Structure 1
Amino acid sequence: MSLENTISEAIKTAMREKDKVALDALRAVKSQILLLKTEAKGAEVSAEQEIAILQRMIKQRKDSYDQFTAQNRSDLAEVESAQMKVIEKFLPAQLSAEELETEMKKIITETGAQSAKDLGKVMGIASKILAGKSDGKSISEIAKKLLS
């Protein structure tokens, strides 16, 4: 089942349960998927693109959460946090820090990277392999740590 169909089913469930926060988050995800399909002019949306949409939406909500928290708007921050949790359910399981470091060591070994000069090469491959399993910031931090 595609992400769009899964989201549609989740929207129906949220409507039945009258879960406004989940409904808002799921409708936003569906909107982004439909927008991507429109831009692709009928071409099939890949799983990588769907994961990228979800990650971008989680990042947006995390940024909003941080801003609302800094402004002492806990009511709005709670909504953003709840929406993040709803969207995260549709992402593949995230790697722990240890698992991510193990994967990065494998990638560095395979590419033959020796120093920070090779960071771009490692990041290019790591971003493709670990897409959806970890965010770019974590990948970058571990790559820098291992290459320095």
Structure 2
Amino acid sequence: MKVILLKDVAKLGRMFDVKEVADGYARNALFPKGLAEPATPGAVSRIEKQKIVEGAKIEARETALGVELESLAETPVTITLKANEAGHLFAGLKQEGLLQLLRENGYHFTDENLHFVKPIKETGTHEIPIIVGKKEGKLILRVVGE
């Protein structure tokens, strides 16, 4: 049975892909969870239009994030966290905490944009890679002990 994926499905495909799957898999797994719909001619044409609109939205978002990325490269972000005298933080700064800090400062990056390897556990200056579409940049994060 041909189906149109409404969301990304692991080991099957990405949103808006038209795939051939077993009838039982479609009826029992994909349709009840809202992951796919039957690939009728009307649905395929509707999805093609939706794909164009989604592509434009993604492109506009990447352009806006690219501008934020350029402004971020010019100014370092400073955060004050509790630390001991040796400069070790009492609680490591994880990706979620950094995203929240960036949102408070007016940036709109997501988990997909930050390439955070491991939590920050030391005071000092840290460089965090950020990738937006095809653009790459670095966030200069200064962690100051309290």
TM-score by length of 2: 0.30
| Rg larger for | 2
Higher helix share: 1
Q: Which has the higher strand share?
A: 2
TM-score calculated relative to the size of structure 1 = 0.30
